[in-house]
């Protein structure tokens, strides 16, 4: 899946939206559960505080009804601030009551109005009391809840004012460990994170599959469109039972191809008609000039003018012929007579004939090709034009005593024929335009090379008609390498 594809972007977008929804819902779920659990803990704390208050109030009533110095009376007096010698007995009684209330793991203390601790749990250390003072900061005569941390352990507590026997008002501060709540919340968070990851991974695959199904018509359109060239502009994308939007897209695309076909046909017919119409008057002009040149009595200065004019007429005739050929190469592929041929034998013949051009400039022309046939399917007449054009250009741009190497290699079911010269190379500003029609390369010395600028355009058109291409590499003053790629014929 490519990063810049619609399939990837829609999958990622859908997954992100789903992730945001799941995370938001999970946060709401965890927060709601936290509120419920702490609400239940508040109710439990309140019940314990009320039970402690009722126990103390019961002792107070017993002491009022019983004038004997009973344990209840002593406890009442202890709570009132009259510390007796039998405090140990009272502590034992309170220990039993605290066990009955389930205060074994809790921290608590009971303070009077002056803030003195009258009664506290056995685990109420100095550090615990300091935590109590840090978290219970509101007035003692109000009931409220607070988070308390003792030795790094989380607790949840209540501040509860107690009134008993209508005589004394005490303040109870009781905390319960909230580790159970924290454990439940942590397990829930871990479970939610794992579930979200699994759901998002599944959504990525499901989203990718659904997106591929949705974009299948687009892929079909792309596949057919890639096979449409100037040679088969009558080809159309078939309409199927697709969505309304895709039907409109296919309909618009087919109409565009139809308009392009009409435009190509019009341009081709127009160019061919103009070229044919120009050939006749140029042929007449050429004949008249040749006749005038051969007529006796013509002055020498007039002959020179006629020769120059005749040279330009011949150049125009060549351009027209090349334009007609180029139009056929690009738009009328039926002119090619494809047949199976051995490229090894073909290149040897081309190089043998090209050595005549190279020897005139004392240029060494070498062919490097492996033994054995290299079978391709092509039109020998037109391929000969390609390689003669490349070798002729190499000879033209290579100084005397230079060398040209023609080499054929096979890679990935294709044969690559390179023509490498030791010439002057091509300037960077010329490299982007060498395949343009009528563009002629300007040399470093500001000279324009002879020619009409159609040779490389025709060579590339022929190569592409054979399902190949032409590429090049060039470095100034070090030479150029043009490479023709052609598909191998595989049995």
pLDDT at 405: 94
pLDDT at 446: 38
Task: Kindly state whether residue 293 falls inside one of the protein's structural domains.
Answer: yes
pLDDT at 83: 44
Do 328 and 340 fall within a single domain? no
Helix (H, G, I), strand (E, B) or coil at 53: helix
pLDDT at 387: 93
Residues whose CB is less than 8 angstroms from the CB of residue 339 and which lie 6 or more positions away in sequence, other chains included? 377, 378, 379, 380
Residue 21 CA to residue 397 CA, distance in Å, equals: 69
Task: Kindly state whether residue 379 falls inside one of the protein's structural domains.
Answer: yes
The CATH number of whichever domain residue 27 belongs to comes to: 3.30.450
Do 315 and 342 fall within a single domain? no
Buried b (16+ CB within 10 A) or exposed e, 163-176: ebeeebebbbbbbb
Residues whose CB is less than 8 angstroms from the CB of residue 229 and which lie 6 or more positions away in sequence, other chains included? none
Q: Please give the full DSSP string across 160-171, using - where no structure is assigned.
A: EEEEETTTEEEE
The CATH number of whichever domain residue 393 belongs to comes to: 3.30.565.10
pLDDT at 92: 66
The CATH number of whichever domain residue 324 belongs to comes to: 1.10.287.130
pLDDT at 324: 66
Residue found by looking up tokens 């009022």 in the block: 64
Alpha-carbon separation of residue 173 from 36, 81, 134, 320 (angstroms): 22, 18, 13, 108
What is residue 212's DSSP assignment?
A: H
Residue 132 CA to residue 149 CA, distance in Å, equals: 9
Of the residues 333, 351, 384, the one at which a domain ends: 333
Do 361 and 441 fall within a single domain? yes
Do 27 and 126 fall within a single domain? yes
Do 37 and 165 fall within a single domain? yes
In the chain, how many domains are there?
3
Do 167 and 99 fall within a single domain? yes
Q: Which domain holds residue 436?
A: 336-487
Task: Kindly state whether residue 216 falls inside one of the protein's structural domains.
Answer: no
Mean pLDDT in each 10-residue stretch from start to end of the chain (491 residues)? 68 84 91 90 90 75 50 46 50 69 84 80 87 88 90 90 70 88 88 90 83 76 72 68 73 79 69 68 78 73 79 75 63 72 91 88 89 86 89 90 92 92 86 77 50 75 88 90 91 66
pLDDT at 93: 66
**Crossing angle of the two packed helices 179-214 and 216-226, in degrees rounded to 10:** 40
Of the residues 185, 201, 224, the one at which a domain ends: 185
Task: Kindly state whether residue 215 falls inside one of the protein's structural domains.
Answer: no
pLDDT at 73: 45
pLDDT at 67: 47
Of the residues 333, 354, 379, the one at which a domain ends: 333
pTM of the model: 0.46
210, exposed or middle or buried, with CB in 10 Å at 0-12, 13-18, 19+?
A: middle
Alpha-carbon separation of residue 252 from 8, 72, 259, 262 (angstroms): 26, 99, 11, 15
The conformational region for residue 166 under phi > 0 = left, psi -120 to 50 = alpha, else beta, is: left
């Amino acid at each position: 899946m490519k990063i810049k594809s619609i399939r990837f972007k829609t999958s990622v977008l859908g997954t992100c939206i789903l992730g945001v929804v799941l995370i938001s819902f999970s946060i709401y779920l965890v927060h709601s559960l936290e509120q419920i659990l702490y609400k239940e803990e508040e109710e439990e704390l309140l019940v314990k505080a009320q039970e402690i208050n009722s126990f103390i109030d019961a002792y107070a009533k017993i002491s009022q009804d019983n004038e004997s110095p009973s344990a209840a009376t002593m406890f009442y007096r202890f709570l009132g601030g009259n510390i007796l010698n039998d405090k140990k007995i009272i502590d034992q009684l309170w220990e039993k009551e605290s066990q009955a209330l389930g205060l074994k793991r809790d921290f608590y203390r009971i303070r009077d109005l002056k803030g003195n601790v009258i009664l506290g749990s056995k685990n109420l250390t100095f550090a615990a009391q300091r935590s109590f003072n840090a978290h219970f900061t509101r007035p003692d005569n109000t009931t409220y809840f607070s988070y308390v941390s003792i030795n790094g352990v989380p607790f949840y507590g209540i501040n509860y004012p107690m009134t008993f026997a209508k005589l004394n008002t005490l303040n109870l501060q009781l905390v319960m460990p909230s580790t159970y709540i924290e454990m439940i919340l942590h397990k829930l968070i871990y479970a939610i994170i794992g579930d979200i990851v699994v759901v998002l991974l599944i959504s990525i695959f499901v989203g990718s599959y659904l997106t591929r199904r949705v974009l299948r018509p687009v892929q079909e359109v792309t596949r057919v469109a890639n096979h449409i060239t100037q040679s088969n502009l009558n080809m159309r994308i078939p309409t199927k039972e697709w969505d309304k939007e895709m039907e409109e897209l296919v309909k618009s695309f087919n109409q565009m191809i139809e308009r392009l076909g009409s435009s190509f046909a019009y341009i081709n017919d127009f160019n061919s008609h103009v070229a044919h119409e120009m050939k006749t008057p140029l042929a007449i002009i050429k004949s008249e000039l040749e006749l005038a040149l051969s007529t006796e009595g013509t002055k020498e200065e007039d002959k020179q003018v006629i020769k120059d004019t005749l040279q330009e007429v011949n150049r125009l005739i060549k351009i027209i012929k090349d334009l007609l050929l180029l139009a056929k190469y690009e738009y009328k592929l039926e002119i090619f007579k494809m047949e199976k041929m051995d490229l090894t034998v073909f290149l040897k013949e081309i190089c043998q004939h090209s050595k005549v051009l190279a020897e005139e400039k004392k240029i060494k022309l070498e062919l490097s090709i492996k033994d054995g046939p290299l079978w391709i399917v092509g039109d020998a007449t037109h391929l000969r034009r390609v390689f003669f054009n490349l070798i002729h250009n190499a000879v033209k741009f290579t100084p005397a005593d230079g060398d040209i190497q023609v080499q054929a290699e096979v890679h990935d079911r294709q044969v690559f024929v390179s023509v490498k010269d030791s010439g002057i190379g091509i300037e960077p500003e010329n490299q982007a335009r060498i395949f343009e029609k009528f563009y002629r390369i300007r040399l470093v010395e500001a000279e324009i090379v002879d020619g009409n600028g159609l040779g490389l355009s025709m060579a590339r058109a022929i190569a592409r008609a054979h399902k190949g291409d032409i590429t090049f590499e060039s470095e100034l003053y070090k030479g150029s390498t043009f490479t023709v790629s052609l598909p191998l014929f595989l049995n």
